[in-house]
Amino acid sequence: MHHTGYHRSLGRFLIIMLTSLTPLYADQEPTLHYNLVQLNAYATMEVENDTQIAVMYAQKEGTDLKQLTDQINNLVTQAVATAKQRSEIKVSTLGYQTSPRYHQQQLIGWRVRQSIRLESEASDAMSSLIGSLQSKLALESISYTISAKKRQATEESLTAQAIDAFRRRAEQVTEQMGHSSYQLVELTLQTIDHSPRPYPMRANMMAIEGRASAPTLEGGSQTLRVEVNAKIELQLE
């Protein structure tokens, strides 16, 4: 069905939105809209996760704070150096925590902890690295996500599908309401990401010195959804 309102490019929508922000002066009257209809449409796609993220940490407890700090620094420095030998894995250090330990309101020692973050699209390399580091670091969590490149391509495809679904719905409503065309008044796009939460590691999965094995990583999938919310004005005959 032919209509005059939507087939113009999305750039017209941007112009409409920008001009709506222009302040009104005393001699200007606001534009009045009649026969407004609010519509929504969406498109979804299940996307395989292609990126793994792991958080590992070194933690020590004792009474000598300087000694504990030195031990943690050495462990983290060695772990970062090992990870950097693998170009397919990104590594970064996270928060450094020093916590006092008390017993019956008396200071009895310290707990020092620091974490590192590993990220890679190479599942086998990630699994191997985690296995080698588990002799010195504990595995806190593993999560999965979509790489930026894959996410962008997916969102572009979903945006086109969602807009097309909106056009079909707008045309259907226009016809059923007895009008021949509509004018686009407002349109917003929203991407909803149903990302899985990080999977925490249980105590018996943490590092057991000399006996930790490489975990098997299964990335799974998640659902991306692009929603279109719009207002149209049915054109009077």
How much is the average pLDDT of 98-115?
Answer: 92
For residue 62, being part of any structural domain is answered with yes
CATH code for the domain of 78: 3.30.70.360
82 with 135, same domain: the answer is yes
41 with 153, same domain: the answer is yes
How much is the average pLDDT of 86-91?
Answer: 95
Q: How confident is the model at residue 88, as a pLDDT? A: 95
75 with 154, same domain: the answer is no
Of the chain, the percentage scoring pLDDT greater than 70 comes to 75
Answer yes or no: is pLDDT of 38 > 90: yes
153 with 40, same domain: the answer is yes
For residue 212, being part of any structural domain is answered with no
Query: What is the domain extent for residue 127?
Result: 51-145
- Predicted TM-score (pTM) of the model is 0.66
32 with 55, same domain: the answer is no
Number of domain units in the chain: 2
173 with 189, same domain: the answer is yes
For residue 30, being part of any structural domain is answered with yes
For residue 157, being part of any structural domain is answered with yes
185 with 163, same domain: the answer is yes
For residue 201, being part of any structural domain is answered with no
Answer yes or no: is pLDDT of 20 > 70: no
Which DSSP string corresponds to 54-111? EEEEEEEEES-HHHHHHHHHHHHHHHHHHHHT-TTEEEEEEEEEEEEEEETTEEEEEE
In 3D space, the residue among 7, 8, 13 whose CA is nearest the CA of residue 189 turns out to be: 13
Answer yes or no: is pLDDT of 130 > 50: yes
For residue 217, being part of any structural domain is answered with no
For residue 135, being part of any structural domain is answered with yes
Write out the two tokens for 227.
């929603």
User: Final residue of a domain: which of 145, 177, 204?
Assistant: 145
140 with 58, same domain: the answer is yes
Q: How confident is the model at residue 95, as a pLDDT? A: 85
159 with 121, same domain: the answer is no
User: Final residue of a domain: which of 145, 162, 183?
Assistant: 145
39 with 101, same domain: the answer is no
Answer yes or no: is pLDDT of 17 > 50: no
Of the chain, the percentage scoring pLDDT greater than 90 comes to 62
Burial bucket for residue 102 (CB in 10 Å: 0-12, 13-18, 19+): exposed
What residues are paired with 121 via a beta bridge? Answer: none
44 with 57, same domain: the answer is no
* Greater pLDDT, 27 or 206: 27
For residue 139, being part of any structural domain is answered with yes
Are 124 and 185 in contact by the 8 Å Cβ rule? The answer is no
Helices (H) and strands (E) in the chain, counts: 4, 8
